[in-house]
Amino acid sequence: MTPHQTAYERNAPDAGVVQRALAETKRSVYWLEEAGARPRFPELTAARKADLTIVGGGYLGLWTAVHAKRRDPGLRVVLLEAKTVGWAASGRNGGFCEASITHGDENGRARWPEEFDTLQRLGEENLDAFERDVRDLALDCHWERTGTLTVAVEEHQVAWLHGAPGELDRAAVQAEINSPLFLSGAVDPDGCAMVHPARLALELARVAAEMGVEIHEHSPVTGLRTASGAVEVRTVRAAVTSGRVVLATNVFRSLVRRNRLMTVPVYDYVLMTEPLTGEQMASIGWSDRRGLADLANQFHYSRLTRDNRILFGGYDAVYHTGRMVKERYEERPETHARLASHFFATFPQLEDVRFSHRWAGAIDTCTQFTAFYGLTHRGRVAHAAGFTGLGVGATRFAAEVLLDLLSGESTPRTELEMVRKRPLPFPPEPFASVGINLTRWSLDRADHRRGKRNAFLRALDAAGLGFDS
């Protein structure tokens, strides 16, 4: 099959349009900047005793703290964060809060077919509970239960949506969002909400602190040690001793040695436009404000902010040899230029729009593309990681799972195969780098060959390791 250009390449704008749009873009996370003044929590400088110690101040750690205090308001809970609350993935993601806890229905059906209906129900219940929490806890996180619109941008993708719930033909999908690239679509009106990621993290920290959780920032954990029926969590300057520990470090190097091959950091890149004018908004429609994604292997995602900026991200997913998370990996001009080109191919009527912010972040990817769970240190330390980019909603569910596991009691959540069984680890270097980059090359090749997957991707599919966005 002869390679062909993708729709984004066929409709690429003039280079000058991209250059002008990026000329004054700041390398800064819009969400963290817009959230403004934030609470400051002290460094841990003296020894503490607690009932539960949580390592990590992102969504997973914060939800665990909130759920733990709800279950037992008298519980002594200490949360330790290496930098500041919500600074990493939780403060810089796209803000899609999905009902799926399996990284999409297709992934869930392929991996856990016998319990998929249960997983789907639990995910829907989790999203509804999330919405109640936003209301009951007064979380100022710009919550919008908009649902999502999935679009086909290539002829071969149109067939993938035939018979899908909420299917839209070309005229209907362009009435939803006016783009010449959209050939068909499917609406999920209720399965996703849009949130302001950084505000959500900061609000969860506020609620946890008000419940009595002791939060310490700038307190990186250096190790764990069990002694006398308890676990000592050591930081640079002090330690916390507690009966139970939750590790919520996600993409960062695990404190549990056996988990260090379980995830790899994959960098995702994002652009944010300046606020659109009323005329510009009218030119694209988007009145239902749904989250937007296309069907390519290297897919794009997009959404509106409260002040009608457009976030546009995805496509390039970059792994750097060595499993390292480094700030310098966030600057990748060629990727941000490619995203800008794809944006204007999608919305040529917005060629005068400028991008105000650009940033990137590392996604904790595992081989099953959704979180795995476990207990170590004789059942005293629980962990979850590997959310692979859909953790906004799934972390709330995962926090409940971790507390269930630490309780030692069997619950419907702990009985799930998804919870009980570990996925395959990634191989060590250099094999991990070779395999991941070959997969990325193959996915790009498939997008340029009308979706046809090569022998390598078919082998991964057969082994249960294939990825399809």
Q: What is the DSSP letter of 38?
A: -
What is the predicted pLDDT for the residue at 153?
Answer: 97
Per the CB < 8 A criterion, the answer to whether 85 and 57 are in contact is yes
Per the CB < 8 A criterion, the answer to whether 88 and 251 are in contact is yes
**Looking at 56-147, which runs of residues are DSSP E strands?**
77-80, 96-98
Q: Tell me: the pLDDT tens digits for 250-296?
A: 999 999 999 999 999 999 999 999 999 999 999 999 999 999 999 99
What is the predicted pLDDT for the residue at 461?
Answer: 79
Assigned token pair, 414: 């702990």
What residues in the chain have per-residue pLDDT under 70?
1-2, 465-469
Assigned token pair, 333: 């001009």
Q: Measure CA 65 to chain center.
A: 20
What is the predicted pLDDT for the residue at 449?
Answer: 85
Per the CB < 8 A criterion, the answer to whether 224 and 54 are in contact is no
What is the predicted pLDDT for the residue at 443?
Answer: 86
Percent with pLDDT over 90 in the chain: 90
Assigned token pair, 60: 């997973």
| pTM of the predicted protein model | 0.96
DSSP element (H, E) containing 235: strand 230-235
424-427-432 Cα angle (round to 5): 120
What is the predicted pLDDT for the residue at 469?
Answer: 41
What is the predicted pLDDT for the residue at 457?
Answer: 84
Per the CB < 8 A criterion, the answer to whether 303 and 95 are in contact is yes
Assigned token pair, 167: 């299917």
Which residue ranges form the domains of the chain, and what is each CATH number?
Answer: 7-34+148-186+268-359 (3.30.9.10), 48-135+196-262+368-420 (3.50.50.60)
3-state DSSP call for residue 54? strand
What is the predicted pLDDT for the residue at 381?
Answer: 98
Peptide bond preceding 430 in cis form (omega within 30 of 0): yes
H helix count then E strand count, the chain: 16, 19
3-state DSSP call for residue 15? helix
Round to whole Å and give the CA distance between 348 and 181: 10
List C-alpha distances in Å: 177 to 29, 61, 220, 240, 348: 26, 37, 45, 52, 13
What is the predicted pLDDT for the residue at 394?
Answer: 98
Q: What is the DSSP letter of 427?
A: P
What is the predicted pLDDT for the residue at 54?
Answer: 98
DSSP element (H, E) containing 391: helix 391-407
What is the predicted pLDDT for the residue at 224?
Answer: 96
What is the predicted pLDDT for the residue at 454?
Answer: 87
What is the predicted pLDDT for the residue at 465?
Answer: 67
CB atoms within 10 A of CB 425: 17
What is the predicted pLDDT for the residue at 349?
Answer: 98
Assigned token pair, 380: 């005293």
Q: What is the CA radius of gyration of the chain?
A: 22
Assigned token pair, 433: 């780098």
What is the predicted pLDDT for the residue at 467?
Answer: 55
**CB neighbours of 392 closer than 8 A, spacing ≥ 6?**
59, 93, 95, 96, 97, 98, 195, 197, 200
One-letter amino acid at 274 equals: E
